[in-house]
Amino acid sequence: MAAPKNLVSHALCNPDALHRYSLSDWDLLVRQARRAGLLARLRHVLEQHKRLGVIPAEARWHFDAAATLGAKQQIAVRWEVGKIAEALAGLAIPLVVLKGGAYVMAGLPAASGRLFNDIDILVPRDQLGPVEAALMLAGWHPSGLSDYDQRYYRRWMHEIPPLQHVKRATVIDVHHAILPDTARYHPDSAKLRSRAIPVAGMKNVLVLAPEDMVLHSATHLFHDGELPHGLRDLTDLDLLLRHFAFDPGFWNRLATRADELELSRPLFYALRYVRHFLATPIPQDFDGAMEHASPGAVPLAMMDALFTRALAPDHASCEDAFTPFARKAAFIRAHWLRMPPHLLFPHLFHKAFARHHENGQEPKPA
């Protein structure tokens, strides 16, 4: 077998093969895993396989330092969710925590070794105004976005502009749906909320039901234009699926729910690529159940060409000549699904030519 380019996938799938890695393999693995945001998760997987000892001494601190950061973030996420719940307590609305935050709150394996950029929450659309006001009172303010982006979020998106806490700098994404109004599919967020599950020990804090959690993760992955954490999101899905599959009824419920929410297509892709990158065990008969969601052979071949590249770690060593095009195409495809053409083309035009003039917030050298 030729040496794999994507060492992160290879290592996650074959923790028992790592003793064969040379020091230069480890060098590349650490770099790819750092870029993919998966150092801490890889360490967690190795620990579970009792294989931490295979990490060479030189490379070990990179994994440990990432795990330190991950552990601190888990505590911080719990604490922040508590603060958000406190801020929204007066509104008496259900607060649904999404994605990484939900994995932490529900104590799922998908939380382990995960690093966070923000906390995503879902609230009823008619409560957006009061929710934003309550969060602002508690110290979260919109920040760092151009006027164009602010307008874009409020007019077209399924979330309001990210809110950042003035003191702690934590960021919340407040969603009222899991896809924009302008998207091709319209999963009913009331349906999602109706089956949400309360978090033990917290008042009014919920997470999505297992099938909905998987469907949201899949939908997010295949409708989000930028895929810097594509592989990390796939590993989330992989861990969710492996965990929920302990319940024998899970796969049937997943297929039914996907149809009900009109999300079979993103689920089809998600399963295809978790299997490709992470060898996730998916029952054979489930492929039959998903067949109706497959696009034709030609579009599928195109999707494979795009996503097997765009979901790999965003590191030069994982790229071939086609990768830059694949990333751009995945970006355009996601927007194509999110907005009709009369909105999409002006938006992409603006992003292509205006983005470099607006934000100048890179850090200065120390």
Summarize as ranges the residues that interact with other proteins (CB under 8 A): 23-24, 26-27, 30-31, 34-35, 56, 58-59, 61-62, 64-65, 68-69, 71-72, 75, 315-316, 362-366
Q: Closest CB to other proteins among 69 and 133?
A: 69
Residue 363 CB, shortest distance to other proteins, in Å, is 6
Shortest spacing between CB 54 and other proteins, in angstroms: 14
For residues 49 and 342, what is the distance between their CA atoms, to the nearest angstrom?
51
Nearer to other proteins (CB atom), residue 166 or residue 301: 166
CB proximity list for 41: less than 8 A, separation 6 or greater: 12, 70, 112, 113, 114, 232, 235
| Radius of gyration in angstroms for the set of CA atoms belonging to the chain, rounded to a whole number | 20
Question: Of the two residues 61 and 322, which places its CB atom closer to other proteins in the complex?
Answer: 61
Smallest distance, other proteins to C-beta of residue 324, A: 13
- Euclidean distance between CA atoms 162 and 150, whole angstroms: 9
Nearer to other proteins, 63 or 307 (CB): 63
Query: Quick one: 56 or 142, whose CB is closer to other proteins?
Result: 56
List residues bridging with 98 in a β-sheet: 120
- DSSP-assigned beta bridge partners for residue 175: 122, 159
* Shortest spacing between CB 228 and other proteins, in angstroms: 11
* DSSP code string of 250-307: HHHHHHHHHHHTT-HHHHHHHHHHHHHHH-----HHHHHHHGGG---HHHHHHHHHHH
For the bound state, the minimum distance from the C-beta of residue 65 to other proteins, rounded and expressed in Å, comes to: 4
Compare residues 231 and 339 and give the one whose CB is closer to other proteins: 231
**Residues near 232 by beta carbon (within 8 Å), at least 6 away in sequence:** 36, 37, 38, 41, 114, 115
Task: Identify which of residues 3 and 366 has a Cβ nearer to other proteins in the complex.
Answer: 366
Nearest to 268 by CA among 245, 299, 239: 299
**Residue 116 Cβ vs other proteins, minimum distance, rounded to whole Å:** 12
Q: How far, in Å, CA of 65 to CA of 40, rounded?
A: 8
**Closest approach of other proteins to the CB of residue 76, in Å:** 8
Contacts of 139 (CB under 8 A, 6+ apart): 165, 166, 167, 168
Q: What's phi and psi for 207, nearest 5 deg? A: -125, 160
